A and B are shown apart, each in its own frame.
Chain A
Amino acid sequence: MNGLRILAFIAVALVLQTTLARFLVRGSIGVDLVLVIVIYLSLRAGPTVGIVSGTVAGLAQDALTTGVVGIGGLGKTIVGYLAGTVGRAFIVAQPVPRFLVFFAATLIEMAVITGFHLLLDSGPPVVPVGAIIAQAFGNSLVGIVLFQLADGLPRIAERRRARSDRNS
């Protein structure tokens, strides 16, 4: 996976996050599409891509907020590295393992961000546990759908191409 594709994925996720996500599940807290993309790329391409995508996506996301630049980047970098390492070490090809990875990754990122805010005694108030769980569920569901789409679209396209070849 080259750098341009990574950047493209992240850019799309950022655009969707800042425009559409707030219409999905009760505002932007419900789903973090940028995090979903980072985890997706990490599981697909490994820890190095996870680190790079997490850093770039997190810093970009931080830059669009009024908070401390770097906290989100650090959280997503850690998540990208861990998700990539898990994807390398284990077979994460079924919905349930993927769900668990997305779920755990969301919790880890929230823990890192919350820990830094507590350490700095600044930034937004700590997110309630219920909201964190809700976001973890949301991210996991969106991530599974993303994987299903990514796995299924090429097959559908191939089938259509084969059908059109037979008809011709």
Chain B
Amino acid sequence: MALFDIRQRSGYLFLVVVVGHIILISAQVNSRSGVPLLQALVFGAFAEVQRGTAAVVGGARGTWDGYVALHHVHEDNLALQQRVRDLEVKLQRDRALAGESETLRRLLDLRDRSQMPTRSAEIIGTSATADFRAVTIDRGTSDGVRADMAVVSSAGAVGRVVMPSRHAAKVQLLVDRSAAVAVMVERSRAQGIAFGSGESVLRLEYVSTSADIVKGDTLVTSGIDGIYPQGFAVGTIEEIERSGGSLRAIRVRPSVDFSSLEQVLVVLAPPAFVGPRAPTGGAERRE
């Protein structure tokens, strides 16, 4: 039969003989990697087949995915755009929450450091006119808040309570044109009084002509006004104008950014707790 005539099928015979030779060689030696030669040859050949098959399949799949199966891409794109928008909104909300958390954490740190009885408060409103620089907090007499109590933040002194109601209170900021606070230069301990100007800066007055004060010095509350506890930052000397040998005008940049205040602490300690009341009768500005 021609089917079994080996002379007609020399290709099969050739394959059988070649495989036989390889088996014979493999039985005698190992390849360089220590694997029997037959395994190395078969694996090498099969790996190439696999590589080629994978390349063909990958190419076909890429063509299908990249060109044919794109009918859902538009819907997916719209859904993804919506999701991006939602996530952006969520991100902004989370950022706001994170900022609020950070502010609260600083306030907690401040309360722990100051060892004073305080009450945290949130700013719920600002003054109705630009002349009067004040804010409204959500704590009032029912929370123990009284007039002339100091209000501070993690950045420094903020102001004092001027009008408490049952559940809220108005706080006069240091930059109000009728506000004043007793201060001292942190470096030299030279004392003075910082007045609000109605603008974004303070004026330092009642400073001795021989006081050691230079531009860049930090001012802190001295505590002698009986309102503000000692040691809270008030601001930094921004400019010193001299006229002859005397000081004419000293501008102070406040430590607190009043435009971004959100959370504050009301110092509940009575004036006696934080220090003797000033003989001038508080920090009310005297013109």
Which residues on A are within 8 Å of B, measured CB to CB? 46-48, 50-51, 55, 68-71, 73-74, 77-78, 81, 84-85, 116, 119-122
Which residues on B are within 8 Å of A, measured CB to CB? 6-7, 10, 13-14, 17-18, 21-22, 24-25, 28-29, 31-32, 37
16 interchain pairs, CB-CB under 8 A? A48-B6, A50-B10, A51-B13, A68-B28, A68-B29, A69-B24, A70-B21, A70-B28, A73-B21, A74-B18, A74-B21, A74-B25, A119-B31, A119-B37, A120-B31, A122-B29
Residues in A neighbouring B31, C-beta threshold 8 A: 119-120
Known: A81-B10, A119-B32, A120-B32. A70 touches B17 (CB 8 A): no
Within 8 Å by CB of B25, from A47, A81, A116, A121, lies A116
Q: Is the CB of A81 within 8 A of B14?
A: yes
Q: Is the CB of B37 within 8 A of A120?
A: yes
Residues in B neighbouring A120, C-beta threshold 8 A: 29, 31-32, 37
Total CB contacts across the A-B interface at under 8 A: 53
A47 vs chain B, min Cβ distance (A): 4
Within 8 Å by CB of A77, from B18, B29, B32, lies B18
Known: A74-B22, A84-B10. A51 touches B17 (CB 8 A): yes
Complex: A73 Cα to B17 Cα, angstroms: 9
Q: Is the CB of A70 within 8 A of B14?
A: no
Residues in A neighbouring B25, C-beta threshold 8 A: 68-71, 74, 116
Residues in B neighbouring A48, C-beta threshold 8 A: 6-7, 10, 13
Complex: A154 Cα to B10 Cα, angstroms: 30
Complex: A77 Cα to B20 Cα, angstroms: 11
Residues in B neighbouring A74, C-beta threshold 8 A: 18, 21-22, 25
Q: Is the CB of A69 within 8 A of B18?
A: no
B232 vs chain A, min Cβ distance (A): 83
Complex: A74 Cα to B24 Cα, angstroms: 10
Q: Nearest B residue to A88 by beta-carbon distance? A: B10
Complex: A121 Cα to B28 Cα, angstroms: 13
Complex: A55 Cα to B14 Cα, angstroms: 10
Complex: A71 Cα to B22 Cα, angstroms: 8
Complex: A78 Cα to B32 Cα, angstroms: 24
Q: Is the CB of B18 within 8 A of A121?
A: no
A90 vs chain B, min Cβ distance (A): 16
Q: Is the CB of A47 within 8 A of B10?
A: yes
Q: Nearest A residue to B27 by beta-carbon distance? A: A70
Known: A51-B13, A68-B29. 10 other contacts (CB 8 A): A47-B10, A48-B10, A50-B10, A55-B17, A71-B21, A73-B21, A74-B21, A78-B18, A120-B29, A120-B31
Complex: A116 Cα to B13 Cα, angstroms: 21
B14 vs chain A, min Cβ distance (A): 5
Q: Nearest A residue to B21 by beta-carbon distance? A: A74
Within 8 Å by CB of B24, from A70, A84, A119, lies A70
Q: Is the CB of B37 within 8 A of A77?
A: no
Residues in A neighbouring B17, C-beta threshold 8 A: 51, 55, 77
Residues in A neighbouring B24, C-beta threshold 8 A: 69-70, 73
Residues in B neighbouring A81, C-beta threshold 8 A: 10, 14
Residues in A neighbouring B10, C-beta threshold 8 A: 46-48, 50-51, 81, 84-85
A73 vs chain B, min Cβ distance (A): 5
B219 vs chain A, min Cβ distance (A): 85
Complex: A152 Cα to B21 Cα, angstroms: 37
Which one of B6, B29, B37 has the greatest number of beta carbons of chain A within 10 Å? B29
Complex: A116 Cα to B1 Cα, angstroms: 38
Complex: A120 Cα to B41 Cα, angstroms: 11
Q: Is the CB of A77 within 8 A of B6?
A: no
Complex: A131 Cα to B18 Cα, angstroms: 27
Q: Nearest B residue to A85 by beta-carbon distance? A: B10
Complex: A48 Cα to B10 Cα, angstroms: 5
Residues in B neighbouring A69, C-beta threshold 8 A: 24-25, 28
B45 vs chain A, min Cβ distance (A): 13
A104 vs chain B, min Cβ distance (A): 17
Q: Is the CB of B37 within 8 A of A47?
A: no
